[in-house]
Amino acid sequence: MKPLRIALTKGRLEKSTVELFEKTGCDCTEIREKGRRLVLPLGDCEAVLAKAADVITYVEHGVCDLGVVGKDTIAEHGGRYYEILDFGFGKCRFCLAGKKNFDFYSGFDSRTIATKYPNITRAFFEKKGMNVDIIKIEGSVELAPLLGLADGIVDIVETGSTLRENGLEIFEEIMPISARLIANVASLKTRKAEIESLTERFEKALSQK
Ligand code: PRP
């Protein structure tokens, strides 16, 4: 039988996931010395290294059975797959932030928000019944209020250093984020036993922390 194929979000989450695989007793030498390779053996699985949103695409389409991706990407992209485990690493939070001492909610002027996450931003302000203009920014979103493009940003805050060092502050916390294990809908039926066994090994390794 083919190994289970698991898509990992490249970067920080990849590192933590490999460490977790190591804790389950897997040999992770190949992925630790991967060079520029994108498909590698990882324990009994085959790992695929991809960008966060693409992890979801590969899992939804069934070319990967499993994926490791942040709740931020899940919340922004939605889609048809199961979220089966909260790894508890990659912890951060979605926040509304902006220039220090700016009274974001006062007055009647409509607000402009810069973000990499327009869907989450729209949903957040719709719930409040607030009409906002959303401008999509690809990275270093903190620049937008500094340059006068936006009144606020909706972005991920981990340590808070980026906000602090740029004279910005949190106005409101939106939701907590951590890395999740997602599964393709069909794989969860056809390869149920293997996925359950892997999930149990993960849970055991996580509880040993
Ligand atoms: C993320 C996020 C913030 C920063 C928050 O950006 O968008 O800019 O990290 O982290 P902190 O609270 O620990 O300072 P990332 O480094 O992923 O780069 P990007 O801005 O280009 O998306």
Report which ligand 1 atom has the smallest distance to the Cα of 142: 8
Average pLDDT over residues 29-40: 94
Helix (H) or strand (E) holding 18: helix 12-23
Q: Which of 162, 163, 174 to mutate to test the pocket of ligand 1 (most atoms within 8 A of CB)?
A: 162
- CATH fold, domain 92-175, is D-Maltodextrin-Binding Protein; domain 2 (3.40.190)
Cβ of residue 140 lying under 6 Å from some atom of ligand 1: yes
> What confidence tens digit (pLDDT) does each residue in 55-94 have?
999 999 999 999 999 999 999 999 999 999 999 999 999 9
Residue written as tokens 């006068």?
Answer: 148
**Of the candidates 192, 176, 172, which has an alpha carbon nearest to the alpha carbon of residue 184?**
192
Q: 165 CB less than 6 Å from ligand 1?
A: no
> What pLDDT does residue 50 have?
98
Residues carrying CATH 3.40.190.10, the chain:
5-90+178-207, 92-175
Tell me if 101 sits within 8 A of 81, measured CB to CB.
no
Q: Is the C-beta atom of 156 inside 6 A of ligand 1? A: yes
Q: Give the residue whose CA is nearest to atom 1 of ligand 1.
A: 156
Using the atom order of ligand 1, give the atom closest to the CA of residue 155: 7
- Give the closest residue to 84 by CA, choosing from 204, 206, 203: 203
Q: Residue 209: its pLDDT value, please?
A: 63
Centre of ligand 1 from the C-alpha of residue 121, in Å: 17
Section 31-56 average pLDDT:
95
Phi first, then psi: give them for residue 14, nearest 5 degrees: -60, -45
Q: Is the CB of 155 under 6 A from ligand 1?
A: yes
Query: What is the position in ligand 1's atom list of the atom closest to the CA of 92?
Result: 12
The pTM of this model reads 0.93
Residues in the chain: 209
d(CA 71, CA 74): 5
CB 157 less than 6 A from any atom of ligand 1? yes
Give the CATH H-level superfamily of domain 5-90+178-207. Periplasmic binding protein-like II (3.40.190.10)
